[in-house]
Amino acid sequence: MSAYNVVSIAGSDPSGGAGIQADLKSFSAHGVFGMSVVTALTAQSTRGVTGVHGVPASFVTDQMDTLFQDATVHAVKVGMLSTAEVTEAVAAAIDRYRLPNVVVDPVMVAKSGDRLLESSAMEALRRDLLPRADLITPNLPEAADLLGEDEATDLATMYSQAERLLKLGPRRVLLKGGHLPGEECVDLLVDGASDPLELRADRVPTRNTHGTGCTLSSSIAALLPQRPDMAAAVTDAKTWLTRALLHAEEIDAGGGQGPVHH
């Protein structure tokens, strides 16, 4: 039996590589008990997203109220939110239930290019959700969108963007540098107080990277209650994800961009 309950508030990916399905697999892999609140259904395969059917914000709230009035939750991963109304509903529930260890993956556009957050929801994400996050995990395009700046093309700009993201209110920022070219992927963890932490990993040559962002953020949420601090949880989650990427070719989930291996 697991001592910890961890909830994913996110969208469904029927192909199992991203979203709620990926999160629940990460939770199991890290030995916590996974729960989920569905914000949207997608019609999706390894080739891309063909449709999105959002859950009304009032029913996302019903799911959260029913769950959180009953279960003690030790960490939360927030992924695809789809609309401003759902974003506001999740922010309100974080306050109402004083949810701990909130990891927000600011999902906007899938690797296939399909939008997972309406552009009109960006303001709600910035205003209502980011200040309630213990950690946000943007990649470089998401960071640029959140800041209204060009995408970083070097490590120095990543450092300054990570600092500016902190000013949007989250307690910590993990800025993921995988979109920069090079043999190494460098992610930055900043909290505004201690020295920034650079997490370096050799780039894994695979096209099966569908759901890497979901999988990393849910791994961090799963590890937070089990590690002494954020740096330890992020470091261990990144090591685990790199190993999963090394095994990604073992899965054949379709003809497009496959999932990382769990």
| Residue 209 bears catalytic tag | yes
| Residue 212 bears catalytic tag | yes
Find the shortest distance in angstroms from Cβ 228 to ligand PLP: 28
Catalytic residue among 211, 215, 238, 258: 211
Find the shortest distance in angstroms from Cβ 261 to ligand PLP: 14
d(CA 45, CA 223): 28
Q: Does 90 bind ligand PLP (CB under 6 A)?
A: no
Contact string (CB under 6 A) for ligand PLP, positions 106-145, x = contact: -x--xx----x-----------------------------
Q: Does 52 bind ligand PLP (CB under 6 A)?
A: no
Question: Is residue 103 within 8 Å of 217, Cβ to Cβ?
Answer: yes
> Is the CA virtual torsion 169, 142, 114, 254 positive or negative?
negative
Q: Does 18 bind ligand PLP (CB under 6 A)?
A: yes
The one among 34, 213, 225, 258 contacting ligand PLP by CB under 6 A: 213
Find the shortest distance in angstroms from Cβ 69 to ligand PLP: 26
| Residue 46 bears catalytic tag | no
Question: Is residue 116 within 8 Å of 109, Cβ to Cβ?
Answer: yes
Q: What is the DSSP letter of 147?
A: H
d(CA 39, CA 214): 14
Burial category of 100 from C-beta neighbours within 10 Å (exposed 0-12, middle 13-18, buried 19 and up): middle
Q: Phi and psi at residue 112, in whole multiples of 5°?
A: -70, -10
What number of residues does the chain have?
Answer: 262
Catalytic residue among 212, 215, 235, 242: 212
> Interaction with ligand PLP in 183-212: which residues (CB under 6 A)?
210-212
Q: Does 42 bind ligand PLP (CB under 6 A)?
A: yes
Angle at 17 (CA atoms; ends 84, 71), nearest 5 degrees? 60
> Mind telling me the catalytic residues?
176, 209, 211-214
Where on the chain is the footprint of ligand PLP (CB under 6 A)?
10-13, 18-19, 42, 44, 79-80, 107, 110-111, 116, 210-214
